[in-house]
Structure 1
Amino acid sequence: MLPKIRLSLTPIIAIFACTAFSAFLPATAHAAGALDRIHANGVIRIANTQSSPPWSFLNDQNKPDGYDVDMAREVARRLGVPKVEFVADSFKNFVAGLKTDKYDLVMNDLTPTPERMLQVDFSAPYGVEDFRIFVRQDNKDIHGDKDLTGKRIGVSTGSSNESWSRAHLPQAIIQTYENGSLIFADLGIGRIDAVIISHFGGLRYATERKLPIKEVGEPLTYQLSAAAMRKDEPELRDAVSKAIAEMKADGTIEKLGQKWVGKEYDMVGSIARAEAEAK
């Protein structure tokens, strides 16, 4: 009977040994095939809110559009991936969505904050914006951030403007919204006193919806945006960063910035200035 016992245990011992060995492998060994998997599937899943113009929104054909959407399509093309599948999600879910493999990248005006960088990785930056205060046209009380004490401030849930507002405006009443258009709807009817959002996003909402709102004060903060992905996917991160570097060099980023943000806007130069300021 002893030989039979030894033979029956051999596969179990082998399985145990393989399992134990794999537990000590670095995380990159498990995730090394991320870019290969994307190429094999022929599709890359990219998340955005589809409600934060000019970065991402649904156009008249109910299709994703905007600066980040065009950037995502061009990154995919340069990676050699024939199809982009856009996944609508909110800022507060982006990190969890990456961790649970709901999508491969997030490209939607997402700032690589220290808190986020502990949980996910980021590519080289491809966008930048300044955040401002927007109020109703008839508002005569708010002229800058010093006037926001006790005021009701609308921000997008889970966004960097929410975290900035909570850190720098402790005396204000912060109200969060899942959808950017709802923030301005509430501003228009007086449910909130001000909105903190990007200069570009605020002006686009005002123009497209013919809202009686205005921008006040100096820029509150400048924030870079980059593509986010799961931790320990160096091949994907480096490939995306390489594509972005090429797009900076050949004028693609400048062209898309002027298309979506404004003909006079210097996206590449603004990214360089923001990076220098951050250092």
Structure 2
Amino acid sequence: MTTLTQSLRAAAAFVGLCLLLPAAAAEPESCPGLIALREALFSWAAMRQDEVGLTFVGHATFMIETPQGVRIATDYNDGTRPPITPDVATMNKAHSTHFSYHPDSGIKHVLRGWNPAGGPAYHDLTVEDVRIRNVSTNIRSFGGATEYDGNSIFVFETAQLCIAHLGHLHHTLTPEHLKKLGRIDVLLVPVDGGYTLETFDMMEVLRAINAPLMIPMHFFGPSTLNRFLDSAREHFAVEFSNTAAITLSRATMPKSPKILVLPGH
């Protein structure tokens, strides 16, 4: 085959790919406002390699690191903190292990999952290559009454992934909650079985969201975790990671829903 023929075929293949791109861009995306989807089409080969870092720091705190280096700490608090100051910290108010009275002054964006003035909190901001938004839910007060809008499910959209942190969720989700969440690829799940939701109710939440990858958090040792996993195995595959830090990408999401346990608690 001549060099000219090879060049012509390569050019034809490139044109063919370009002709396909508008159709791909027009497809509906159930995760609202996915960051940089259009830009991804112009650097298709590079975007296939985009990865998001996820590290389980402990309790309900994860460090999320985006392709452009934005660091986010979930349920940031005064007792369990990542070793590096994040750019963004999200918090919830059910207990002091989910928020900080004195967040590090170096954090650029501190997002509280409740509104101190009353009513639901509302967050929807873009930091570099990540969009961060919340879906408000309720919590139980110490006396057992319902405290409306005391918790937020935070959703992080980056590298064509939608990662949701359920926070200190105290009830199952309504169709309206699920609609606001949209498509979720990675779900960070409290599995204590009582402080948040009973295991049976949490299974209902997991089946309703139907994320490809679910990662347990908010457990207090092996017995609590194993009680959750015994129930979860009736519905989902369960795997264990050797490390607390993993990389995520849209291309490597499981084909069917799976629970991945990271070391720590």
- The normalised TM-score by structure 2 is 0.31
Larger fraction in helix: 1
Structure with greater contact order relative to length (CA < 8 Å, sep ≥ 6): 1
Bigger Cα Rg: 1
